[in-house]
Amino acid sequence: MLPMRAYYRYQSMIIFEPSISLATKGATIMAASDDPSAHLRKHSFISLTTFRTNGEAVPTPVTFGEAHGSDKLYVVTGLKTGKMKRLQHNLAVALAPCDQKGRVVGTAVQGHARILSAAEGKARRKQIRFRTPAPILFMFNLLRELRSGGNVYLEISLR
pLDDT along the chain (159 residues), means of 10: 38 39 46 64 89 94 84 88 92 93 91 92 81 74 76 88
**Amino acid found at 120:** E
Q: How far is CA 23 from CA 12, 46, 110, in A?
A: 11, 16, 12
Q: Got the DSSP string for 40-72?
A: TTTSSEEEEEEE-TTS-EEEEEEE-EEETT---
Helix (H, G, I), strand (E, B) or coil at 97: strand
Question: Tell me: domain 4-158, CATH 1.10.8.420, correct?
Answer: no
Provide the pLDDT for residue 25.
Answer: 46
